[in-house]
């Protein structure tokens, strides 16, 4: 028997792990085989990441395997682009399926043969009811359905009609094949569900070979059985489909008997994870494609600079339960910040430049200053940063009439420039409209890279970039796509909750020269500003950077405040 994983803080026990452990101990299975079965009609989102991490991760824990199977039973909505994107996303998350890539279309002939088996045994029939009539005959949650007038057709007639459906003798939607179960069943999914429908639509893999296609409910369990899946893990919306899953497996000569188990899906605040809604956002132009960094798709998160390891960490913290709940998006952001704070290199960038002339610094001279790559990483090394007479600072780092707690630059005030010198503002230059366009300052050469020898202190430290060495760049500041915690909540239009300020584009940013050729996909910290990553839209001499997120961690701060409130006076925290 395969050794089962030991429980650790990183992998706390949950009910699916216990089911697998019990099945192995009882000999009901000798190897754990799971599957991740995406429908290739869109890009994967972070909700799918929960299923991916569970299916691939738990199979690996038990020394088993996980299959990647494409549920390609609806060619009207499926494209090769989505298949390729799904594979890229699963690989990016860190999982491999090796030789175990499958498609439901691999089994079309076998599924068709099993449909004929049901017909021959009086367990399926061809129905002529229209979709509207079928809904009417189906009944309600409190009232039983009514038998279709075609339900009593003899098996040989049904078989002939079904074969004619495959031959293309009937128009799309004119006939379907239905399972003959029980129109009075308390579970609506058991009221003679549709198994096959007519659809003249070329398939990405089978071309025009078929004009009838199996439904998901018919293809899914049987595909599991063909592949020898032992544990078919689904989200809770498929719980009501499990009786049908079991009925089909019980009534067909399948080579194995998989079991379906359900877990709660991921619901994330300020986010929509409905594929229908995500498709609408793309189709209606509310975002710039499936990989827009505001989208919760894995490709969007990757383009935004969120590392795959932080998504796995986030999913691992959620646990696996059967209770639906709403997870704060701030927890995901906390996981990202926690990781990047330790691993991301630091660089300086000025997003809204204000020119500063240091009048007592020699013209044409360049001072190469030492800067650390990551203060959290003692082995992270360092770099040289050029300092010149003219530099840029952030516009927000200067105020002509500062309030009491503003500790940055102001007239006649001294501040520290990061890695460089103390500087004092001596003059403010304005345009004809009164806007500040330039500052004149002096610097203290004795403060190079540290504190003042005479012991004087400054309260503000500013980042900066050399005007003559800086790299011009476009910077895109992304924020949450929605302003509501539950977009469209209460039956409203989710589009009405779109954040009009979810993207701000800055075209005049200036970056330190070390960022001229920063690697794609490598997230870094712009000091004092946030985490950023290069975007593929950049070009030589004009990079584009996307903001991954700001430095401010509201989730961690809220958790700290909760712990503080739970601590009794003079004692330890409760619990």
pLDDT, tens only, 355-373: 999 999 999 999 999 999 9
Cα(330)–Cα(265) distance, integer angstroms: 18
| Of 336, 328, 329, residue with least CA distance to 302 | 336
- Is residue 9 included in any domain, yes or no? no
Element (H, E) at 234: strand 231-235
In the predicted model, is pLDDT for residue 10 greater than 50? no
Q: Tokens 């399972």 map to which residue? A: 179
Mean pLDDT computed over 191-214? 97
In the predicted model, is pLDDT for residue 386 greater than 70? yes
Interstrand relation of 503-511 and 349-350 (parallel, antiparallel or unpaired): antiparallel
Q: Give pLDDT, residue 491.
A: 87
- Is residue 138 included in any domain, yes or no? yes
| pTM assigned to the model | 0.92
CB contact at 8 A, 315 and 50: yes
Q: Give pLDDT, residue 9.
A: 42
| Number of domains, the chain | 3
CATH number for position 223: 3.40.50.620
* 201 and 217 assigned to the same domain: yes
CB contact at 8 A, 273 and 45: yes
Cα(248)–Cα(195) distance, integer angstroms: 10
In the predicted model, is pLDDT for residue 571 greater than 70? no
- In this predicted model, what pLDDT tens digit does every residue of 543-565 receive, in sequence order? 999 999 999 876 666 666 666 66
Q: Tokens 């290199």 map to which residue? A: 345
In Å, how far from its chain's centre is CA 365? 48
- Is residue 291 included in any domain, yes or no? yes
Q: How confident is the model at residue 2 (pLDDT cuts 50, 70, 90)?
A: very low
In the predicted model, is pLDDT for residue 146 greater than 70? yes
CB contact at 8 A, 482 and 498: yes
CB contact at 8 A, 83 and 205: no
- In this predicted model, what pLDDT tens digit does every residue of 324-356 receive, in sequence order? 999 999 999 999 999 999 999 999 999 999 999
Cα(73)–Cα(75) distance, integer angstroms: 6
Percentage of the chain beyond pLDDT 90 is: 92
* 339 and 363 assigned to the same domain: no
* 284 and 154 assigned to the same domain: no
* 338 and 383 assigned to the same domain: no
CB contact at 8 A, 333 and 493: no
Q: How confident is the model at residue 569 (pLDDT cuts 50, 70, 90)?
A: low
Residue that is last in its domain, among 302, 319, 344? 344
* 295 and 331 assigned to the same domain: yes
Count of CB atoms situated within 10 Å of the CB of 276: 9
- Which residue(s) pair with 482 in the sheet? 498
- Return the higher-pLDDT residue of 288 and 7: 288
What residues act catalytically? 39, 265, 275
The SS3 of residue 171 is coil
The SS3 of residue 67 is strand
* 62 and 173 assigned to the same domain: yes
CB contact at 8 A, 513 and 527: no
- Is residue 448 included in any domain, yes or no? yes
For residue 85, the 8-state DSSP code is H
Q: Give pLDDT, residue 556.
A: 65
Q: Give pLDDT, residue 3.
A: 42
* 221 and 134 assigned to the same domain: yes
* 48 and 172 assigned to the same domain: yes
Q: Give pLDDT, residue 542.
A: 94
Given CA atoms 308, 310, 313, 318 in this order, what sign does their dihedral have? negative
- Is residue 101 included in any domain, yes or no? yes
Q: Give pLDDT, residue 8.
A: 39
Mean pLDDT computed over 213-222? 97
- Is residue 4 included in any domain, yes or no? no
Residue that is last in its domain, among 223, 238, 263? 263
Given CA atoms 476, 478, 483, 488 in this order, what sign does their dihedral have? positive
The SS3 of residue 490 is helix
Least confident of 6-10, 119-123, 181-185: 6-10
Q: How confident is the model at residue 462 (pLDDT cuts 50, 70, 90)?
A: very high
Q: Give pLDDT, residue 138.
A: 97
Mean pLDDT computed over 498-521? 96
- Domain extent, residue 315, equals 275-344
Interstrand relation of 353-358 and 436-444 (parallel, antiparallel or unpaired): parallel
Q: How confident is the model at residue 257 (pLDDT cuts 50, 70, 90)?
A: very high
* 181 and 290 assigned to the same domain: no
- Is residue 363 included in any domain, yes or no? yes
Element (H, E) at 385: strand 382-387
Question: If you average pLDDT over every residue of the chain, what do you get?
Answer: 94
* 333 and 351 assigned to the same domain: no
Q: Give pLDDT, residue 5.
A: 41
- In this predicted model, what pLDDT tens digit does every residue of 275-330 receive, in sequence order? 999 999 999 999 999 999 999 999 999 999 999 999 999 999 998 999 999 999 99
Element (H, E) at 465: strand 465-466
Q: How confident is the model at residue 190 (pLDDT cuts 50, 70, 90)?
A: very high
Q: At what angle do helices 329-343 and 308-318 cross, to 10 degrees?
A: 130
In the predicted model, is pLDDT for residue 6 greater than 60? no
Q: What number of residues does the chain have?
A: 575
* 468 and 536 assigned to the same domain: yes
In the predicted model, is pLDDT for residue 7 greater than 50? no
Q: CA Rg, the chain, in Å?
A: 31
* 176 and 189 assigned to the same domain: yes
Mean pLDDT computed over 14-24? 96
């Amino acid at each position: 028997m395969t050794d089962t994983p030991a429980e650790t803080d990183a992998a706390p026990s949950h009910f699916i792990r216990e089911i697998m452990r019990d099945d192995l101990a009882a000999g009901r299975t000798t190897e754990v085989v799971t599957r991740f079965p995406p429908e290739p009609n869109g890009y994967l989102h972070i909700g799918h990441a929960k299923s991916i991490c569970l299916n691939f991760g738990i199979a690996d824990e038990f020394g088993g395997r996980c299959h990647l199977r494409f549920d390609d039973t609806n060619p009207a909505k499926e494209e090769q682009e989505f298949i390729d994107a799904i594979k890229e996303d699963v690989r990016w998350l860190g999982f491999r399926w090796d030789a175990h890539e499958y498609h439901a279309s691999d089994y079309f002939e076998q599924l068709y043969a099993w449909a004929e088996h049901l017909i021959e045994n009086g367990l399926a029939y061809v129905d002529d009811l229209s979709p509207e009539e079928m809904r009417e005959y189906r009944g309600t949650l409190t009232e039983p359905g009514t038998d279709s007038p075609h339900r009593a057709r003899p098996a040989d007639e049904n078989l002939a009609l079904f074969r004619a459906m495959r031959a293309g003798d009937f128009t799309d939607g004119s006939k379907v094949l239905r399972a003959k179960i029980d129109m009075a069943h308390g579970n609506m999914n058991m009221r003679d569900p549709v198994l096959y429908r007519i659809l003249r639509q070329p398939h990405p893999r089978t071309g025009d070979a078929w004009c009838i296609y199996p439904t998901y409910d018919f293809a899914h369990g049987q595909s599991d059985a063909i592949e020898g899946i032992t544990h078919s893990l689904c989200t809770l919306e498929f719980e009501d489909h499990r009786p049908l899953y079991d009925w089909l497996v019980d009534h067909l000569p399948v080579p194995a008997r998989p079991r379906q188990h359900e877990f709660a899906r991921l619901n994330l605040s300020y986010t929509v994870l409905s594929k229908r809604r995500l498709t609408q956002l793309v189709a209606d132009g509310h975002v710039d494609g499936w990989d827009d960094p505001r989208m919760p798709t894995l490709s969007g998160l990757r383009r935004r600079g969120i590392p795959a390891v932080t998504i796995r960490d986030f999913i691992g913290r959620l646990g696996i339960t059967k209770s639906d709940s709403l997870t704060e998006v701030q927890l995901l952001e906390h996981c990202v910040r926690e990781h990047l704070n330790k691993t991301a290199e630091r660089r300086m960038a000025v997003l809204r430049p204000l020119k500063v002339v240091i009048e007592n610094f020699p013209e044409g001279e360049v001072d190469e200053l030492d800067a650390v790559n990551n203060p959290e990483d003692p082995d992270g090394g360092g770099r040289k940063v050029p300092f010149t007479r003219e530099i840029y600072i952030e516009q927000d780092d200067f105020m002509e009439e500062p309030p009491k707690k503003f500790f940055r630059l102001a007239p006649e005030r001294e501040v520290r420039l990061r890695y460089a010198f103390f500087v004092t503002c001596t003059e403010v230059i304005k345009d004809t409209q009164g806007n500040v366009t330039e500052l004149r300052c002096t610097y203290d050469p004795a403060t190079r890279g540290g504190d003042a020898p005479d012991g004087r202190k400054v309260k503000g430290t500013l980042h900066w970039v050399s005007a003559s060495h800086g790299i011009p760049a476009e910077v895109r500041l992304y924020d949450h796509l929605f302003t509501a915690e539950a977009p469209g909540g209460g039956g409203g239009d989710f589009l009405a909750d779109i954040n009009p300020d979810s993207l701000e584009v800055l075209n005049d940013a200036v970056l330190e020269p070390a960022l001229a050729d920063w690697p794609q996909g490598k997230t870094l910290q712009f000091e004092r500003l946030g985490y950023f990553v290069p975007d593929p839209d950049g070009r030589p001499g004009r990079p584009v950077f996307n903001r991954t997120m700001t430095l401010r961690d509201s989730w961690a701060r809220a958790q700290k405040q909760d712990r503080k409130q739970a601590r009794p006076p003079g004692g330890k925290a409760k619990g």
